[in-house]
Amino acid sequence: MRNGSSRIALITGGAGFVGSNLAERLLGESDVKVRIFDNFSRRGVTNNCEYLQTLQGSRRLEIVEGDVRDAVAVKNATRDVTEIYHLAAQVAVTTSVTDPVSDFEVNLRGTLNVLEAARLSGNKPFLLFTSTNKVYGSLHGVPVAVVGSRYQAVDENFQGVNEVEALDFHSPYGCSKGAADQYVRDYARIYGLPSVVFRMSCIAGPRQMGNEDQGWVAHFLYSVLSGLPVTIYGDGFQVRDVLHVHDLVDAMLAARTASSRTRGEIYNLGGGPSRTASVIEMLRMIEHETGKALLLSRSGVRPGDQPLYISDTAKFEQATGWAASRSIEQILQDIGAFWRTNKDVIRQSALSPEPVLELVAEEVA
């Protein structure tokens, strides 16, 4: 596939939400060939590939159907690449609880397959792995109190969770992703692979299908736009920082550009303190954005849910000069614009008669 291109980028899970946004950006760079590796198990992702094939740079796009659990297929897809963005994952805590073996096979075995393929290729490709803030567990070490419509840290100096926070894998999903990110880090130390880990908070933006396993912000917005009820788990005061997917793509490319400084490192990535919202606050923003009344129901809090998670991104900012630039308001506007041109696909792929939300920290696939 090289044909004169200086870079070949492999994106596992490349047909998904983050992967297709990353692929679009890379196809805009004239010296990059993009290889998407995806098993197409998620509803709606074929539409992302159809969209990518309409782009001007689509002649440099290769789409390979395959599964990260298939070591031979992964090895074949990795043979000649210069960079790997390993995004393929099982992302639902609920699924991991009901089927922990499959969760392990996809998230941990699949990651090990990618790492081994990269190591054995002999090319030492740059490798970025998307992990999750769920590796920090319930964050019992960050006491919170209810202030208005949100949880707030008792410590007034709290600026977010940084990378020295103790690991506390909670749920099979947290275990599989956490173990995988330790493998990714160690392959940099032991084998010299220029690998980077992003422990991500909530990612949102266009081309997010927004079902219960795939993005709470989009799920809320699509449900409200469709006149469907939204279920709030717990009191609704849970707080997350939210990062626009285009800001995340900026960060991914910044990590590669600065690989001499980022290799072997783990970074927390999210919107940071200035881009936070509680569940209730987000719903109010959506109500204001859409002009539609909310249809709400409530249920008990989910096990292991973090009442407050805000990313401290200072380490990554200092290493690369990156900074988030898009607001939550812009995130909602961009998701809304995607809805207006893709509502039929979203209704078929993401929305059910009774939408259910799980507030999962990593909402990217």
Just list the catalytic residues: 173
Q: What are the beta bridge partners of residue 231?
A: 297
The type of residue at 357 is L
Q: Is 321 exposed, middle or buried (0-12, 13-18, 19+ CB in 10 A)?
A: exposed
